[in-house]
Amino acid sequence: MKKILFFLIAFSILESTNLMAHSGGHYHKGDGIVLNTWRLKSGEKVKGNFSFAKDNKIYLEQEEGLIKSINISDLILEDQKLVKFKIAKFTQINYTPTISIANEDHTMKYLPICIFSLLLFLVYLFNKELIKVYILNSKIGLSSICILFIISILIACSKSETTTSTNTNNTIINPISVSIPKTRTTFMDSAFAAFKPSIGTSWDETYFYIASTGIPNHNMMIGITSWQQQVPITQPYNGTNSWSIPLQPAYASTPLSTKTNLMKGAVAVAVNGIPIFNALNNRGEDSYKIGELDNWGGHCGRGDDYHYHAAPLHLSTINGPQPIAFAVDGFPVYGTKEPDGTNMIALDTCHGHNGTNGLYHYHGTTDYPYVIGALKGKVTLDPTTTAPENQVIPQAFTKPVRPATSPLSGATITDFVAVGINGYLLTYKRGTKYGYVKYSWDANNKYTFILTDTAGNSVTSTYQR
């Protein structure tokens, strides 16, 4: 019986120590949480999410609750700007915040087991006979001690409750949960302004809408070396079939990777009204690397719909520091410069990062994934589609006028010019000879295609939309 008592005392002391030292923190390995990367002037990079600031230092929460402090002055200039913004932002919103936090007095839960262990030890130390008579030689006494021990353990192992706390100390800013502000429609509309009236914009409380014909203001098709024999025609991206961008983005618990998803439909809409698709085609191939794209990063799909697969960086020459596109999750896409004109900083796996204003955005680049590596924001997937060829809804849809065509091996598109108001002439080279596709449409949406192969044979077809 003495051995049992000694075991209970020893176990109580050891367990109370271990329980008080339980792991904490918001971020754990395997949770899929993306930690921000902070860059020091020394070249060192530190991963962690901003927790609070005090005495010219920032405190970053890392995996498993680890806290890392960094002198603000040790950060590079861009990250110092980000820190200043976060401090100002949370000072503004923190004057009377009510937040739900883990009970900081969780160690009080372990008080019963500590007191129980201490009293049991002291009684045994000073009066062994008392222990022997009333506990060791008594079934009731021993049973009572065991029950009290079990109750103490259960209390110590219970989950922490939450308490409500009001922070009135502006010295320490602790952003437990920060919602993303609703995107200003004036900001979005200004990004599309340079391309009006070729496109139209409108909005309601939920979405920003982009109407377009699907034909960009730049040339198309030249430079394609892997051609599906599709050509660009107008598309009815208007009315209820306009492109829709949510005004209230929200972070997804797990970003949706474009390597294994979204190989159908648009992942973003460029500011000229042209949709941007996944960098990978519906076969999982990099469209740019296999020669499917023209000099502007686009080509035509099976519905003769023109769209990009690579970042339309050329739009930055028109739009300057403004976004070149908006993703279907609501976050903007910039070119190779930050919104303030400085050089682009390191990108995360989604192909973006938080700007100096604390808001997330993507960047277009010349290397894979070009625009979006994973959707940072929440989206709704079309339930009729499955990965990898799933797509986000709402989504504008094309309206084909002719059956889909097949690839023409060895063909390179060398020229593409407008013919009249509603027509084009495409020239391709195959070997040393040239072929042509001349097509047009009238006011009644009657389309005429004249296909001339490299041997000079012509076929004319008409289609009614």
On whether both 322 and 434 belong to a single domain, the answer is no
d(CA 168, CA 173): 10
Residue 101: HSE in the Cβ half-sphere, 13 Å Cα cutoff? 14
Decide if pLDDT at 140 tops 70: no
The contacts of residue 275 (CB under 8 Å, 6+ apart) are 243, 266, 268, 269, 307, 308, 396
Give the span between the Cα atoms of 371 and 259, in whole angstroms: 12
Instruction: Supply the range of the domain harboring residue 72.
Output: 37-103
State the pLDDT at residue 68. 83
Q: Do 11 and 125 belong to one domain?
A: yes
427 and 360 within one domain? no
User: Are 114 and 200 contained in the same domain?
Assistant: no
pLDDT at 301 exceeding the cut of 70: yes
Q: Which residue has the higher pLDDT, 87 or 247?
A: 247
* Residue 280 domain flag: yes
Question: Is there a single domain that holds both residue 260 and residue 370?
Answer: yes
pLDDT at position 162 is 43
Q: pLDDT band at 54, cuts 50/70/90?
A: confident
- Considering the domain architecture, whether residues 370 and 389 belong to the same structural domain is answered as yes
Both 275 and 323 in a single domain?
yes
Report the domain count for the chain: 4
State residue 66's pLDDT score. 73
Examine the domain organization and report whether 217 and 326 are in the same domain. Answer: yes
Mean pLDDT in residue range 3-10? 51
Structural tokens at position 244? 């829709």
CATH number at residue 76: 2.30.30.700
Give the pLDDT confidence of 163-220 residue by residue, as tens digits: 443 443 333 434 434 579 999 999 999 999 999 999 999 999 999 999 999 999 999 9
**What is the pLDDT, as a whole number, of residue 79?**
81
Q: What pLDDT band is residue 31 in, cutting at 50, 70 and 90? A: low
Does one domain contain both 211 and 135?
no
The mean predicted confidence, pLDDT, of the chain is 83
pLDDT tens across 223-270, in order?
999 999 999 999 999 999 999 999 999 999 999 999 999 999 999 999
Residue-level pLDDT at 340: 94
Structural contact between residues 363 and 351, judged by C-beta atoms closer than 8 angstroms: yes
- Closest to 58 (Cα-Cα) out of 42, 41, 75, 43: 75
Lowest mean pLDDT among 78-82, 153-157, 163-167, 179-183: 163-167
Kindly state whether residues 13 and 118 are assigned to the same domain. yes
Low-confidence winner among 22-31, 110-119, 305-314 (lowest mean pLDDT):
22-31
Same-domain status, 236 and 337: yes
pLDDT more than 70, % of the chain? 73
Q: Is 45 exposed, middle or buried (0-12, 13-18, 19+ CB in 10 A)?
A: exposed
Q: Considering the entire predicted model, what is its pTM?
A: 0.64
User: Is residue 270 within 8 Å of 315, Cβ to Cβ?
Assistant: yes
